[in-house]
Amino acid sequence: MAVRDSPETLRPGPRWFAWLAVGLVACLSQILLPVGGAAWGAAFFVANLAAAAVLVAATVRMPPGVRAIWGLTSMFVVATLLADLVYRVQTDVLGVDAFPGPADLLYMTAYIFAVIALARASRRMATSSDRDALIDTGIVTIALLAAATVLLFEPIVEATTDFDLAFYAAMAYPVLDILLVAALVRLLLGVRRLPLPLVLVTLAFTALLAADLIYQFMTAFGESDSATGLSEALYLATPVLLAAAATAPGATVIAAPVSQTLQRPTSVRVVALTIGVVTTPVLLLVVLWPDDRPIERLLAAATVVVILLALLRIQRLLATVESQAEQLGRQARTDALTGLPNRRTLDYEVERTVQQAVSDGQSLTVAMLDLDRFKSFNDEFGHQAGDALLRGAAQAWTKALPPGSFLARYGGEEFALLLPGVGGETAERLLEGLRAITPPERTVSIGFAEWQPDESGYEALNRADRALYAAKAAGRDRVVRDNPDADQVSAAGRSPDRR
């Protein structure tokens, strides 16, 4: 169970958005202002320093579960800022050739911090050892190495006559970029839904990779100065977006992991795998195209087509298997009598709903409903009438619930209800409405509790159950709200039976 935000950090506020807007204006200044001017350089370093300060301050307030991840991210930003300062001192103050130099050591160290941060986030998101995600990441990484070999490494090697330290430093940056992409892909393959902080983190490192790619290509053509404005804007966008991610709602949760149950791959995974498996034959086709080798070109093109068709066929097979698994899973998750989710489904849903409340900054009400004197009703009218009562109550309550609610059969005549985004008096009025539409001549006792940011879903469920005992003790047919400050339930509260 992830550590939760405080109520203040849970609720989306203008702070992160305002910071992001100001930071992006600073990024835009790198394109609009004269390159190399005092205002241009001041905007870059002031915005970079502010981003580092915001990120470090946010990291200090993080709960222990994610503090290491954001701490490594902060170290990446700080190391990059120090490298930029060292580089400027070398070139602008000392007037010396800055490559390779101390700045490059700092830049490379920063990349390592970023890779480790993404790797730790991936491990935190994984519900178990996701070997499929590791295999998929390997496919994408090998494809990137192949592309880098053709587009970057080979031109650098061909243009090099002296294999000195500068050569190895130039080769190191693309390798670090590939490691960063691999770590980012591994993280994205481990989640099904991208919350705001993870979207911002992805955009941040995408901006960094794009800046590196632009700079490396322009440098290869001897026009690095013409790319400075755009590449520096992208470099600056990286710390700006990371600072926004650390202060955005849900930053302490990062993301919800992909369930390890059988399911069709996400769109991100399908696209990544498709690109990964066709990259090598496409590169082979590109390399062979200038030569007069029609048979080899034909074989390379046929390989691409066969791979795409095979992927399409696998997708269709997965869709069939997923459909069958969904039918079986639905039977395992559903109560056969009422058609509601059963206790097993509730076990999963209560914690998932709490995580969603943490991420979205919403309130959450948990309620327990118990049909009064149900055993006596069964004894008097028979089990078929009792079954009909359970079905009727479930149908009536379900129709009256707002969208997004979750009603499950807890066991026997007891039901559990989750109300995301509903709290306080609104929840009480809604539950009173359920009590009023209970099947004729029958009554229901309801206990409810508002989830608190420092408790788990089951703790809130236990407090709702405690309130249900209080409702029974007070005479049944009523709605009782739990007091979160109460240490224990009185003996009178547990004395009546719950029939």
Instruction: Please identify every residue annotated as catalytic.
Output: 413
Burial of 410-445, coded b for 16+ CB within 10 Å and e otherwise, reads beebbbbbbbbbbbeeebbebbeebbeebbeeeebb
HSE-up of 185 (CA within 13 Å, CB side)? 27
Q: Please tell me whether residue 416 adopts helix, strand or coil conformation.
A: strand
112's tokens:
């390592």
Torsion-angle region of 265 (φ positive above 0: left; ψ -120 to 50: alpha; else: beta):
beta
CA-closest candidate to residue 182, choices 134, 120, 131:
134
Phi, psi angle pair for 409, to nearest 5°: -85, 115
CA 146, CA 143: separation in Å to the nearest integer?
5
Measured CA distances, 268 to 135, 311, 318 (Å):
15, 15, 16
- In the chain, the amino acid numbered 78 is V
In the 8-state DSSP scheme, what is residue 130? -
Q: In Å, how far from its chain's centre is CA 262?
A: 20
Beta-bridge partners for 447: 368, 480
**Are 490 and 480 spatial neighbours (Cβ–Cβ below 8 Å)?**
no
